Amino acid sequence: MPKRSSSVVGREFGGGVRAVIARTGLTHRRLAELLGWQEAKISDLTLGKGGVSEPDVLLLLGYCQATVEEREHLLSLFHEAGSAWLQMPKDGVPDQVRTLIEHERDAEEIIAWSMVIVPGLLQTPDYGHVVTGHSPVIEAEAVPAVAAARAARASILEPGRRFVFLVHEQALELPVGGIEVWREQLAHLLRMSVRQYLSIRVVPRSAGMHAGTCGDFCLMKFPKYPPVVYADSVNYCLFFDDPETVKIHEDILTALAAVALSEEESRAVIDNILEGLQ
């Protein structure tokens, strides 16, 4: 892992190393002294910036008595290269992977595009429960716990950051759950839409063919490292942080924003669908 700016894979690697070191009770300074390293080397490594060789990694993990499973996992991350990082969660729940949740928590701005259903961060608990229950990879007995965990992610929707949700009109018209669940979801969107730090804009059916037909995704921007694009499917998720892929998705969002209704117009669309359910 050559020395470079922090990437998604690098931060995942660094987080794993921090956990191994923390278990020893040693400070980074003391560990550096014991290994004969500069403390900055430990810092760069735990921040996911690299700057160490594979023998260095093995030395550190061995000294910290990392388990075989930890060593294999961290070495696989150490060797990971390329512009995309694929994760296939063991429990088959892509939007509950720790990497996504941590990046959502650290982001200063999240711009999400959703074409089929209401974006996850804006789903009510009941709406999310119905969506979770229709997943082919989640066992029925696990649905309540997974749905609750998904709902908990919405706690990041607080002042101090910026959230933009671009939603296709058809996602709002999809009858998820019974009338009561659907109605409450639309009402929730109206309540959220008046928050100053949160924008909900609808891409109307009248827009016709549009750039967003490539699929749902979100773009996360951070104060200290480059933007990350996240996309998922039934049992896998992808993280991209290379400039070219990020630029492509930024252009898609720009194109969608150009055809999306204003915030006020979007509220009128949501309210109109809601009135039709009375």
pLDDT top residue among 13 and 159: 159
Spatial distance between the Cα atoms of 82 and 98, rounded to a whole number of angstroms: 21
pLDDT at site 217: 96
pLDDT at site 216: 94
Residue 4 has pLDDT above 60, yes or no: no
* Percent with pLDDT over 90 in the chain: 51
pLDDT at site 1: 47
- Identify the burial level of 271 via C-beta atoms within 10 angstroms of its C-beta, where 0-12 means exposed, 13-18 middle and 19 or more buried: middle
The answer to whether residues 192 and 122 touch, using CB atoms and an 8 Å cutoff, is: yes
Residue 35 has pLDDT above 80, yes or no: yes
Tell me the mean pLDDT in the region 63-86.
79
pLDDT at site 229: 95
Per-residue confidence at 50, pLDDT binned at 50, 70, 90? low
8-81 topology per CATH: 434 Repressor (Amino-terminal Domain) (1.10.260)
- Identify the burial level of 162 via C-beta atoms within 10 angstroms of its C-beta, where 0-12 means exposed, 13-18 middle and 19 or more buried: middle
- Sequence-ordered strand ranges (E) for 142-227: 162-168, 198-203, 217-221
> Would residue 37 be called left, alpha or beta, if left means φ above 0 and alpha means ψ between -120 and 50 degrees?
beta
Tens-place pLDDT, residues 182-213: 999 999 999 999 999 999 999 999 999 999 99
CA atoms within 13 A on the CB side of 57: 25
* CB atoms near residue 221 (< 10 Å): 17
Domain boundaries, the chain: 8-81, 86-275
Alpha carbon 113 to chain centroid, angstroms: 12
Alpha carbon 55 to chain centroid, angstroms: 32
Q: 263 in helix, strand or coil?
A: helix
pLDDT top residue among 202 and 88: 202
Residue 224 has pLDDT above 60, yes or no: yes
* CB atoms near residue 140 (< 10 Å): 7
* Percent with pLDDT over 70 in the chain: 95
- The architecture (CATH level 2) of 86-275 comes to 2-Layer Sandwich (3.30)
Residue 219 has pLDDT above 80, yes or no: yes
Question: What's the pTM value of the predicted model, to 2 decimals?
Answer: 0.80
Alpha carbon separation from 61 to 11, 20, 120, 272 (Å, rounded): 17, 7, 37, 59
